[in-house]
Homo-oligomer: A and B are copies of this chain.
């Protein structure tokens, strides 16, 4: 077991000599195993370890027991230890997210803070092979490409996952053999409904009825997808480096990135989408809210007539001119009557199954829509000529007349951000949503849009 992990760490170059590592320690079997293994591996890579336990302020005495155990174990192993208290429930309420999500956000925030305080180079977390199989199926069912099929990566940024190569059973057997105890988590509070279904129902069923090695097989296929993904990124990167053109602001930040259409057209379909993704990332510094539909819509511009453009999330457009394909920041001046002080809010999208009786959020910053009614790429933007909404009876109303009726002063109208599918407006942010996309009894799938800061009118 130790040997398997050591091999995996070496093969994936998870540690450099002298790394200073924050070890996330909940006190459960997985993280206890992680700490014990890394402590054993210390000499090998000359590591300095620090264990960090996050107390979520939930689960009363049980949580206290966990943090006590985490402290004791660290002391026994001679590893420095911190326990950090957070109010996950309060944070969740404040941000309008689930407690699980809040817990995850807070943990990674704290591990990062502790890393900086420790002058650390890495953060080690205890995800194992079973978690990986679950993640891969979760992504597959909810929609993904090779990236999601690849599951969690052993090394991403400064996060390392040395236990991905072993299963939960291996971990329990290892601890049993070494006579090391751990805390049982009495709830499944840490994970959301869909993951829980996959972990406790789907995977056991598949293992029992279809293939006992299904877990390992999923992880192995995921590894191939991750390798293919990394290779495609590399190929796309060298193509872009060789043929790309960047335009920068005075500050040095890229606002436009382009490449010859002929160059893209000579490549395979899949390389084109990887290049476009990298172009978006170059301009946006983030792939937030960019889905495959967006990338594929942008790639589709290559095949039609020239001089067309589409909106992308994050205030970007993909434009095809005569001989070039560009990803650029939307020129706010052109679109919203010189209101340069207005900035588009970030909108988080998430998609999940709708079950009757689910409570639709009733607040100004979280909206639900019927995902199956959306056929094209969505954009977050300001109003444009031709924008319309659907009324309760099914008729259309231009956005302009809606805004007039809503008594929005003319000079404010161009500043209101909205989410639209083509000219069909789903959500006038701060105002209302279109009847057409509303959740009904026939809704199968919800797309939730959630405002994440930004400047909102109304």
Q: Point out residues on A near B: beta carbons under 8 Å.
A: 138-146, 148-149, 194, 197-198, 201-202, 205-214, 216-218, 220-221, 224-225, 227-232, 234-235, 268-271, 292, 351-354, 371-372, 444-445
Contacts and interface: CB of A to CB of B under 8 A. Distances in A.
B221 A194 contact: no
B206 A144 contact: no
Contacts of A211: 141-143, 194, 351-353, 445
B444 A213 contact: yes
Contact of A209 (B140, B197, B217): B197
Contacts of A354: 212
A206 B198 CA distance: 9
B372 A225 contact: no
A368 B142 CA distance: 37
A210 B292 CA distance: 20
A371 B213 contact: yes
Contacts of A234: 268
A336 B220 CA distance: 37
A138 B206 CA distance: 10
Contact of A141 (B217, B353, B445): B217
Q: Chain A at the B interface: mostly helix, strand, loop or mixed?
A: helix
B270 A210 contact: no
Copies in the complex: 2
Contacts of A270: 224, 227-228, 231
Contacts of A198: 210
A438 B368 CA distance: 56
A185 B21 CA distance: 61
Cβ-closest 9 pairs across A and B? A212-B444, A143-B217, A227-B270, A141-B214, A228-B228, A145-B224, A212-B445, A231-B268, A141-B211
27 contacts: A140-B214, A141-B210, A142-B211, A142-B217, A143-B211, A143-B221, A148-B221, A149-B221, A194-B211, A202-B202, A208-B353, A209-B353, A210-B352, A211-B353, A211-B445, A212-B353, A212-B354, A212-B445, A213-B372, A220-B292, A224-B270, A224-B292, A227-B268, A227-B269, A228-B228, A228-B232, A231-B232
Nearest to A208: B353
Given A141-B211, A197-B209, A202-B205, 13 more contacts: A140-B140, A142-B214, A143-B217, A143-B221, A149-B225, A201-B205, A202-B206, A220-B292, A225-B225, A228-B232, A230-B268, A231-B232, A231-B270
A92 to B, nearest CB: 23
Contacts of A351: 211, 213
A173 B200 CA distance: 35
A142 B371 CA distance: 32
A271 B353 contact: no
Nearest to A195: B210
Nearest to A267: B231
Nearest to A139: B221
A225 B150 CA distance: 11
A119 to B, nearest CB: 33
Contacts of A142: 210-211, 214, 217
A217 B371 CA distance: 13
A156 to B, nearest CB: 18
B206 A141 contact: yes
Contacts of A140: 140, 214, 217-218, 221
Contacts of A292: 220, 224
Contacts of A202: 202, 205-206
Contact of A146 (B224, B269, B371): B224
A452 to B, nearest CB: 23
A234 to B, nearest CB: 7
B231 A144 contact: no
A15 to B, nearest CB: 20
Contacts of A352: 210-211
Contacts of A216: 143
A232 B230 CA distance: 12
A217 B138 CA distance: 11
